[in-house]
Amino acid sequence: MGVKLKKVLEDTVLADITVTDRDKSRFLEGLGRPYKKKRTPIKLYLASVIAASILTVLVFSSMSGEKSITDPTTSVDIPEIDDLVEGMELEHYLSDNMDRGNHDFYDELVVVDTRVKDFSRGDIVYYKGKDGMEWLTRIVGLEGEILEVMSGQVYIDNKRLDTFYGKAHRLGLDKEAYFPAMDKLTMQYNREGMMELFETNMPEIEVGKNHFYGMSDDWMRGTHGLISKEQIIGKVVGIRSK
């Protein structure tokens, strides 16, 4: 530090400060020393970068890696049955609640196997409703599970049901396919009402003992709800070939 600057500081800034001459001298000497940047060891720096990268990957994975439930065995196709065996029944079905775009099951002779007593997710069953009428429904929720619908997507025990029947459909089309198809046909329809259908929300419901949760394939034409094993007449195995 120059002599002139030291003299100015002694006469101004340090003039009224009650410190010893030694303290003043140490302060002035400190101003004249060059600033030395504290260096971080290279190993510590690299370790910090790696740790931050790992943490970022873990956080991103936990956010994007949504767990799901799949069903690789259930087919969207409906078998045609030629020959019936003992225990199979024919039921003339006149509802379009299972319509996936081909008037599926409507006005068909549905083949119901009454021998089946164990049911799996994805099975279509024929059951007697509380209204006394007989219906078709697809088993979606199993005993002990908690089912919820958020924005038209079914969740089982907080896991997304990643199947063709796991989200809202109308005539076999999901939201992404339905609106472009309708607009292409230039048909008049209640767009707002259909958007509400595809964005359906349903609070959590627990499937009790000896019960299933059934859903119609066409969410607009059918109903969803709990059914007991006692209500089930049999499993649908196809339709009678013509």
Residue pLDDT, tens place only, 181-208: 999 998 889 999 999 999 999 999 999 9
**CA 198 distance to own-chain centroid:** 14
Q: Which of 47, 64, 81 is the last residue of a domain?
A: 64
Which token pair is 24?
A: 């003043």
The CATH number linked to 87 is 2.10.109.10
Q: Which domain holds residue 159?
A: 68-240
The 10s digit of each residue's pLDDT in 148-183 is 999 999 999 999 999 999 999 999 999 999 999 999
Q: Which of 44, 64, 84 is the last residue of a domain?
A: 64
Task: Clarify whether residues 55 and 123 are in a common domain.
Answer: no
Task: Clarify whether residues 24 and 97 are in a common domain.
Answer: no
- Cα gap 62→182, rounded to integer Å: 37
Q: Are the CB atoms for 112 and 232 separated by under 8 Å?
A: no
DSSP string spanning 141-181? E-TT-EEEEETTEEEETTEEE-STTSB--BTTB-HHHHHHH
Residues 6+ apart with CB under 8 A from 92: 107, 108, 109, 110
The total of structural domains in the chain comes to 2
Task: Clarify whether residues 45 and 72 are in a common domain.
Answer: no
Task: Clarify whether residues 75 and 22 are in a common domain.
Answer: no
pLDDT for position 52:
52
75 has pLDDT over 90: yes
Task: Clarify whether residues 87 and 140 are in a common domain.
Answer: yes
Task: Clarify whether residues 136 and 234 are in a common domain.
Answer: yes
Task: Clarify whether residues 40 and 80 are in a common domain.
Answer: no
Task: Clarify whether residues 60 and 72 are in a common domain.
Answer: no
Q: Which of 64, 93, 113 is the last residue of a domain?
A: 64
pLDDT for position 114:
98
The 10s digit of each residue's pLDDT in 109-125 is 999 999 999 999 999 99
Task: Clarify whether residues 22 and 108 are in a common domain.
Answer: no
Task: Clarify whether residues 91 and 162 are in a common domain.
Answer: yes
Task: Clarify whether residues 121 and 42 are in a common domain.
Answer: no
pTM above 0.95, yes or no: no
Number of other CB atoms surrounding residue 106 within 10 Å: 15
Task: Clarify whether residues 175 and 219 are in a common domain.
Answer: yes
